[in-house]
Structure 1
Amino acid sequence: MSRIAVIIDEWFEDSEYTEPAKAFKAAGHDVVTVGLEKGKTVRGKKENTPVVIDLAVEEAGIEDFDALLIPGGYSPDKLRAHDAPVRFVRDFTKSGKPVFSICHGPQILITADVLKGRKITGWKSIIQDIKNAGGEFLDQEVVVDGNLVSSRFPGDLPAFIRASLGMLD
């Protein structure tokens, strides 16, 4: 059983959190939400899905987790304005442990400066940002490059979840 950190803040894309979290839990994995403030409730941007933050990012250590999920929506952009989440994502990505990023998730990876030479996909509005950060954008439903699994949007969730679960086995 793996322990998966989910870095999340306000206005995340609801399904990009709920569907992977449900699949991870169904497969026996532990899902822990990590955010700016422990105990705070953050909400999804479309369905207003409430998520309580289990652990403040300042208290989270990469050694305590086996994988990282970065849901999209506005959450990654909000998180990348703060040093602690950026540092956590940078260190996690460099650790070699699996990182699952979907839609706007690469925004925090861009700020963490971990995309140079990496193949990745994401939402179409951040293609140029990915390229400017040194990443190679691929327009595919799922891209796996080493420890990094990425997808473009909610329609890619089945492939994203399969590839992510495959990294945990």
Structure 2
Amino acid sequence: MLKRILVLFAVLGLTATAAPEASAYEPVNIVHTERVQVGPYGMTVGFSVWPLRAMQSLDFTFIPDGGIDGKTGTLAQIGPVGGMSRMQPLARHPRKRDVWGLDVRSLKSAGEWTFRFRIDGPQGSGTGELRGLTVLGQPGPPMALSWSISILPLIALVAFLVIAWRRTRSRLVTADAAV
């Protein structure tokens, strides 16, 4: 009996250790990189999709030379139309914890974008920009057409419910009049 209990605990222990591996996140696949000098720090900016398109989600990674330990940084995204976004602190990428990054983000409009960085670290602080980041138009049909097509089933459902309600109501009214 004791032997069976030990075997059961061993099997449960093996499945418990295998479970986190099954639910692990996909790694970040960097398909294109750009170099930028941020004061005394060199930095590699990685993209999970290339070429960039407006409204297309992708991962960005920001890897300063020497790693991120002992450093802090901020990022501002400057778009072609909307001007500068607010400065946001660079945080660890949720799926690639040894670098800074943005997880599943998209750039809102097509055109020339600029990423402005500021890094504070042991060699002092510095600023730098990645200019001329070309973002192509949105993939697929225009957003208005996509929404129009996707709302057609909802319109059909509302029409069906209105017709069904009117037919049922007219039957209830004639039934009440007969009583």
Task: State the TM-score bracket (shorter-chain normalisation).
Answer: under 0.3
Larger Rg: 2
Q: TM-score, normalised by structure 2?
A: 0.20
- Of Structure 1 and Structure 2, the greater helix share is in 1
Q: TM-score, normalised by structure 1?
A: 0.21
